[in-house]
Structure 1
Amino acid sequence: MGGPCRIAEPGKPHTRAPPCTDNFQVRKFMFDGREWESVEQCYQAMKFNDRSIQEKLRSIKKKEGDKDSKHGMDVWNEGQRYKSVRKDWDAVKVEMMYRANLAKYMQHRDLQEELLSTGHVEMVGAPSTGWKLKSGATVNWSFWNGRIQMRIREELRPEGEQKQDLVDSLVKEFEEYIYGEGGVQEPLPQMEGPKGTLEADQEEPSKMAG
């Protein structure tokens, strides 16, 4: 689900992070060789291997006068209509959201600067939906959306300015989640940056930093 993240700053527990941290933000980018309107649209489409379903989702455009949140809910609702999700979706959903966000940032310098302007403060996602893990525990997108933004923020920093311990711990969290839910069983899509394709590992989660 969408909405800007929240900044967990001492004394300001509910400060909104910049609009770039909203998965519903309409800002076009390339992913898997195609153009997408938003991270949410791309994410919902990547749940399915069926190209025709992906294209139905990709065909949903933001209408004149609509807010980004309206477009985000339109693609979210469409994504709930189909049951034929990829067999490893529970394992790769967090990685897929990370990849879609990373592609957006890599193709928009102003969004990189906006994210970096938040400094080193912790971020959590807006209130959102959750799901059960194989262990029986429940996890929520509020947690992972914040983690995704924090990871990308560190990876975007110039060499020497990254908090490498933080990068390493975040990457480990992502990897442990994937393997805890059964691991990657089908090829993951490629990501594209401002100068062409960023070759994505087709079997293992991406490791941009480290």
Structure 2
Amino acid sequence: MTIYFYSTREKYGCFSNFSPHGFELDGFYWPTSEHYFQAQKFVGTPHADQIRQVKTPKDAAKMGRERSRPLRPDWEQVKDDIMRKAVLRKFETHADIREELLSTGDELIVENAPGDYYWGCGADGSGKNMLGQILVEVREILRLSNQQ
């Protein structure tokens, strides 16, 4: 069975970067993993802090996509690792959602995002599903750290 997620209001909504599970990382508190991810596009600039402080993850996403802001030159090379770092910290921080992720066993996890062919599966299922792949990796890391 494959586990699909997208909306924070559905089952497995905690897998979404918009889920309200904040954490501390790099010396700051981040309201959502979306806030962290979008801010890292402008790390070391005032834009990063502006994004960190906006009210909703939707606002953070919108700001992160504004090309009037100076995108860091290595973004394409570092974005997967930044997402991995944020998702791992989120699930390390919150025991309830960590248990939910671990309870998925060895199932494939897919972000059912019709408009996103990189992080999600896209409208026709041909997307890379990088967020789903990262959730599977994080599940394995958490499983191994539970055995210590």
TM-score, L = length of structure 2: 0.80
Identity of counterpart residues, as a percentage? 31
Number of equivalenced pairs? 134
Q: How does 1:1-210 map to 2 (within 5 A)?
A: 8=2, 18-61=12-55, 71-81=56-66, 82-127=68-113, 129-130=115-116, 140-142=118-120, 143-158=129-144
* SS of 2:21 mapped into structure 1: strand
> 1 CA distance for matches of 2:107 and 2:137?
12
> 1 CA distance for matches of 2:145 and 2:46?
41
Displacement of 1:125 in angstroms is 1.1
Structure 2: any 5+ residue segments left out of the alignment? Answer: 121-128
1:31-78 Cα shifts (integer Å, max 9, x gaps) = 1110000000100000113331111011112xxxxxxxxx22211111
Displacement of 1:158 in angstroms is 4.0
Could you tell me whether the CA contact under 8 Å between 1:128 and 1:141 is conserved in 2?
Answer: no
* SS of 1:47 mapped into structure 2: helix
Displacement of 1:160 in angstroms is 9.4
> 1 CA distance for matches of 2:110 and 2:100?
16
Could you tell me whether the CA contact under 8 Å between 2:47 and 2:69 is conserved in 1?
Answer: no
Displacement of 1:146 in angstroms is 0.5
Displacement of 1:19 in angstroms is 2.1
Instruction: Choose 1 or 2 for highest CA Rg.
Output: 1
Question: What value does the CA root-mean-square deviation take over the aligned residues?
Answer: 2.2
Q: Say which structure is richer in helix.
A: 2
1:138-175 Cα shifts (integer Å, max 9, x gaps) = x51111011011000111114697xxxxxxxxxxxxxx
Could you tell me whether the CA contact under 8 Å between 1:57 and 1:79 is conserved in 2?
Answer: yes
* SS of 1:26 mapped into structure 2: coil
Following superposition, which runs of at least 4 residues in structure 1 exceed 2 angstroms of deviation? 14-17, 158-161
Could you tell me whether the CA contact under 8 Å between 1:27 and 1:104 is conserved in 2?
Answer: yes
